[in-house]
A and B are shown apart, each in its own frame.
Chain A
Amino acid sequence: MNRGLNRFAILVACATFFLIIAGALVTSHDAGLATSDWPLSNGQVFPKMVGNLFWEHGHRMVATTVGMLTIVLMIYILVKEKRSWVRKLGIFALLAVIAQGLLGGLTVKLMLPLWVSSAHATLAQLFFCTTVSLAIFTSRSWIEARPIEEEKEGPPLRYLCTAALVTIFLQLILGATLRHSATWDQKPPIELILAHIGGAFAVTLILGGTGLTVLRRHKGEKFLTRPAMIALSLLVVQLFLGVAAYMTRLASPKDPQPLNPMVGITVAHVACGALVFVSTIVLTLRTYRVLPATNEHSTWAARPQES
């Protein structure tokens, strides 16, 4: 285990979270096309950051920083990390951030077609998932984890967590599509709103059930209960933020411009959604690490790993 590598992976994950917030600010301000060119802004590397160009070019600057950090992280992993699958994940992270940058360019060049914008927002979450995973895999708690016995009643937690993760990811895609289907001064399509609300019910049901199951079965095992508690807490916050975002977004078409309450709450909703996703990723990965694959003891779960 290399403590420096783990700290750097955490830094990249935090920077990625900041990048997601910066991207959400662009969408909420309708700043994505504040300049018609890419990768330069108005033909300049450092344009005058006024109006909505502050958000759009600021997003590009943060993205460039994250891209560079990811390059360094990949090199760091290739030099220090012995596990081949972690090395591959480091390379994947770099490929993902490059693809994300190109998608960002396409959003400008193609003038924000819904599928490109939604793909850009979705890949952002996947990239965040990747950097968080790298931070987890290089951590001491992951490497030194020991198997935990699971109750033989009910379905294995790892599958419950996977189901929750898939549901959250689909909900994130729906949310991204909803956000990019209409600007602040337009009515969002009601079909997407209903779908997103349906998704919220599904996530609440499945993640709620999974989290409570973790707390019930593994009381005292902080390795599992901590991410479960965080995921459940964030889920509650996210539901309230969702309602608040809906209320402010309902009023925004009558506003003269995107106002701070709408911007702040919708961005918080995006950010909290990302946190719900990664906290569930942490929980899921940890269940795979320490719990058996089925109610029968698995032979491969939680084998000590070489660092």
Chain B
Amino acid sequence: MNKQTKVWLVLSIALSLLAVGSSCGGNKNENAGGNTNATAGAGPYSGPTGTISGVISFEGTPPAPKKIDTAADPVCGQKNPNLMTDDTVVKDGKLANVFVYVKEGTVDGGKKLADYSWEPPTTPLKLDQNGCHYVPHVMGVMVNQKIQITNSDATQHNIHWTPKNNPEWNQSQPNGAPPIEKTFGRAEVLVPVKCNQHPWMRSYIGVLKHPLFDVSKDTGAYEIKGVPPGKYTVVAWREGGVPEKTMEVTVTANGAAKADFSFGAATTSNAPSSLQMMPAIEFPMLGKH
């Protein structure tokens, strides 16, 4: 092998290794909120409670729902011929499907909210696959609370959730199959759920150690009951990578605290993609810039 050959080989291998090496930088996935992995110390809370309620507004013109093409599975089209995206459901300026929860705070008397423990309800929450669509679209459960997953469609689905703190899970559920019951062992806000058979199907499950959460209705209203008196950080989360909104709230015994949130059209679409900076990098290769 002569000198020029060696130079060529070294150059090509070095370029390739450089390319591979640059890809090895950390891709940190941040957990989306939900600082609820606290240690229990004070046991269950007993005493007077209050409520936190409010309305989620949407400012600006909401994006029009997009039609979903269900041709790949005729059963979906027959049962739900006008299936549309439901990531932004706005009615009279009010936004549905916003997950509102108490993130952290101090209960009157000085103890942290995380010091208290709550037993999960024994009644399972239902997540149905109906019309090739998850019902509900957003839901909240407590850690170790059962989720009963049903298939009301005459076609097969698979339920695939992709959490960061809990184990990933995927299971097929053919039509006629019995309900599946699952739980989450750790708090996480929020766990995405999808069906790989019907890739438009999305749902989100907020998992918390306490029951202090709610999901906004079609009217935009939500209400969190049973909140011990104290000062809290309340968070409103909505899908699409939109930055969550927070608010400090004081709850009094038997009182009703208000916490209204507002999301805007500017934050409706997916969060700014890291790709959006790319045209300036890639286009010079084509000589366009």
Contact = CB atoms under 8 A, between A and B. Distances in A.
Given A50-B73, A159-B8, A198-B19, A35 B199 contact: no
20 contacts: A29-B199, A33-B170, A34-B197, A42-B156, A52-B196, A111-B160, A111-B170, A155-B5, A160-B8, A166-B13, A170-B19, A187-B270, A189-B23, A193-B275, A195-B19, A196-B23, A239-B285, A243-B286, A250-B276, A253-B270
A233 interface: no
B23 A192 contact: yes
Contacts of A58: none
Interface of B: 1-2, 4-5, 8-9, 11-13, 15-20, 22-25, 27, 66-69, 72-76, 85, 155-156, 158, 160, 168, 170-172, 174, 196-200, 269-270, 273-278, 281-282, 285-286
Nearest to B177: A42
A193 to B, nearest CB: 6
B23 A197 contact: no
B198 A163 contact: no
Contact of B273 (A170, A174, A253): A253
Contacts of B18: 198
A78 to B, nearest CB: 36
B199 A257 contact: yes
A201 interface: yes
Nearest to A247: B279
A254 B11 CA distance: 40
B275 A53 contact: no
Contacts of A253: 270, 273
A156 B15 contact: no
Contacts of A141: none
A288 to B, nearest CB: 14
A31 interface: yes
A214 to B, nearest CB: 14
B1 to A, nearest CB: 7
B197 A197 contact: no
B13 A163 contact: yes
A249 B282 CA distance: 14
Nearest to A155: B5
B197 A258 contact: no
A105 interface: no
A254 B196 contact: no
